Amino acid sequence: MALFAMTATAGNPIKAVDRGNLDPSTNPGENFYQYACGGWKLNNPLDPQYARFGTFDQLAENSRNQVKEIITTLGNNHAHGTIQQKVGDLYAMGMDSVRLNNEGMAPLVSGIEMIKALTRDQVPGAIAFLHNGIGAPFFNSAVMADLKDSNSNMLYLMQGGLGMGDRDYYLDKDANTVNIRRAYINYIQQLFELIGYKKGNAKKAAVHVLEIETALARVAMTREETRDYSKLYNVISVAKLKNDYPNFNWEQYFDGINVKNVDKVCVFQPKSLAAVNGMMVSLNEDEMKEYLIYKYMDAAAPYLSDEFADANFDMYSRAMSGKQVKMPRWKHSLEVPNSLLGEAVGQLYVEKYFPADAKKKMQNLVDNLKKALGDHIANLSWMSAKTKVNALVKLNSFTVKIGYPDKWRDYSGLDIDPSKSYWENVLAARRFQAEYEYAQLDKPVDKERWYMTPQTVNAYYEPSSNEICFPAGILQAPYFDPNADDACNYGAIGVVIGHEMTHGFDDQGRNFDHNGNMVDWWTPEDAAKFQELANKLGEQYSAEIVADDVHANGQFTMGENIADHGGLRVAYSAFKNTEQGKGETLIDGFTPDQRFFLSYANVWAANITKEEMLRRTKVDPHSLGVNRVNVAIRNLDEFFKAFNIQPEMQMWRNPADRVTIW
């Protein structure tokens, strides 16, 4: 997320703030994002293969190239069944465009014929077949920790079935959404034509699919509603499940996903599941089959001939995001083993690219940030002593995962067979992963499990285990560089650490205690004060225009906004405890505080298409980069002092309107 453009020399810390990233024609008090990132944006015009590309994406691209080097140098002489054979063959099959184009739709035939042969009574089993790593027709299911018993796993049933991902794509009537909907029905029709349907029949099938998904969209929870765990936690017995939704054969479904002795489930969205129950009798067999066939084709399209892959790109990348050209084939091919055999690739990755001392240095940063957050909590003016104690207990109970897991995933049960089609092998890997997930139902929660691969350029907080995790992929320059000055490391990776810690205390994370259980540890008065501050923060973001007349959604992005807010404040406090932070020594003409804020802003330097801005506003719980800078930093008094921001300037925010939550 940050860009440190200078390189290190022996004994000379790098100048991690690059003046080439700046736009000196812009006053920082008028538009700080443009001032800090305008030069970078000008020097890095958007490549048409991307809908958004920024410093964060540059680091992801670096990680991708590292993984490519690993995979392309594996060689071809590995025994069948080894990790090297599985990773190498899966990548090679994706690269074989000649074979893929020669095969055409052939890899789909057996699956489509299976669906066509279904009777109505067999539909639940077919849905289960697709839920095994292929798609989520009608609804979705997953095994996760019980929200109120973090040591036990439970089966969750969730709303799903929407190919465009979000209900608003089916319901909104603005010009952009209408155009996307038009592209979507054309895409569905195109897939049916590619498997041999005549144009008229393909069009009818596409209409049926869109009607089913639109009906599901009408009863789906809004993005804002899905953030409220109290509305989602609806635990019922399987007997009640069968009684409340009697038109669906649950035993057949459970057999299909291979879960045994289920005694209770959590229904996240009862209204959605009720609609599915109704569809089991209101839809005719042909409509059901068309929908299931489409879901199967849609999942397979990226792994088939160019006709299928191009249609998939035109819908999800061009129409929805504004991308103009496909990425090179190697990037798509690389992503398959990189995700489906993620820890196998990760094991090879950390051996080559993650130095042993990086973990220790990162742990030191985490300790410094934890201390700073503890000080913040202890000194909050709006929180009572009773709630502070509980908050500090939770903070001090964080599990910290850095770099890579201590225990690697076993892939010996997965067979990658190059004599079979690419899609068959992708399907086998997806099913292997799905079976692994569903098998967790009969086991206690695995607290050592990682939910990101080591090569991932990202980080996370998991409320059910009260853990923060920083994969090796993000722990490298320009994000984390031990040769850079403290201002820049704390402004970049320091804010990331603080961000993930603060997720434990955002509008969702705050509902979980130090053991990861959904327990209310707040006094009613403190909860009300928190909500008041959170709403005030949300209003700041909702006031921002994204594109055209579309506003940002401060409620949907609340958790990430609170995490950005807390991450900035905590990282800044931790930085001020360093030797550099206590002084005023200039580096390249910038004060330590200026370098901290410039480093943070460069985390979010990016160019982005209008279509992608609108898409992310619908589906991404993170705010756009410009708002993660210009809205977030205007709640820190120190920012205004660092750049001498005056009341008449655009970046000014009255002290009474500034928010301090954590």
Q: How do residues 260-317 score in pLDDT, each as one tens digit? A: 989 999 999 999 999 999 999 999 999 999 999 999 999 999 999 999 999 999 999 9
- Number of structural domains, the chain? 2
Q: Is 75 within the bounds of a domain?
A: no
Q: Is 590 within the bounds of a domain?
A: yes
Q: Is 609 within the bounds of a domain?
A: yes
Q: Is 339 within the bounds of a domain?
A: no
Phi, psi (rounded to 5 degrees) for 139: -155, -175
What is the reported pLDDT for 10? 30
Same domain, residue pair 483 and 622: yes
Same domain, residue pair 254 and 393: no
Query: What is the torsional sign of CA 560, 564, 567, 573?
Result: negative
Same domain, residue pair 389 and 494: yes
Same domain, residue pair 40 and 175: no
Same domain, residue pair 41 and 117: no
Residues β-bridged to residue 379:
none
Spans of the chain below 50 pLDDT: 1-15
What is the reported pLDDT for 481? 80
Of 230, 264, 283, which closes a domain?
283
Q: What is the pTM of this model?
A: 0.92
Same domain, residue pair 646 and 497: yes
DSSP strand pairing (52-54 vs 606-608):
antiparallel
Residues present in the chain in total: 662
**Do residues 216 and 138 lie in contact, with contact meaning Cβ atoms separated by under 8 Å?**
yes
Range of the domain at 136: 111-283
Check residue 242 and report its DSSP letter: H
Same domain, residue pair 131 and 258: yes
Same domain, residue pair 33 and 158: no
How far, in whole angstroms, is CA 276 from its chain's centroid? 27
What is the reported pLDDT for 14? 39
Same domain, residue pair 24 and 118: no
Q: Residue 266: which H helix or E strand, with range?
A: strand 264-267
Tokens, residue 248: 């669906």
Q: Is 501 within the bounds of a domain?
A: yes
Question: What are 109-124's pLDDT values in tens digits?
Answer: 999 999 999 999 999 9
What is the rounded CA–CA span in Å between residue 557 and residue 555? 5
CATH (domain of 183): 1.10.1380.10
CATH (domain of 23): 3.40.390.10
Can you give the three-state secondary structure of 67-90, one letter per residue?
HHHHHHCCCCCCCCCCHHHHHHHH
Same domain, residue pair 40 and 145: no
Of 283, 315, 337, which closes a domain?
283
Return the SS3 of 154: strand
Same domain, residue pair 164 and 25: no
Tokens, residue 442: 């009969």
What is the reported pLDDT for 1? 28
Q: Is 617 within the bounds of a domain?
A: yes
What is the rounded CA–CA span in Å between residue 590 and residue 36? 12
Q: Which of 602, 639, 571 is nearest to 28 (CA)?
A: 639
Q: Is 178 within the bounds of a domain?
A: yes
Of 233, 262, 283, which closes a domain?
283
What is the reported pLDDT for 535? 97
Same domain, residue pair 279 and 392: no
Q: Is 186 within the bounds of a domain?
A: yes
Tokens, residue 77: 């002489």
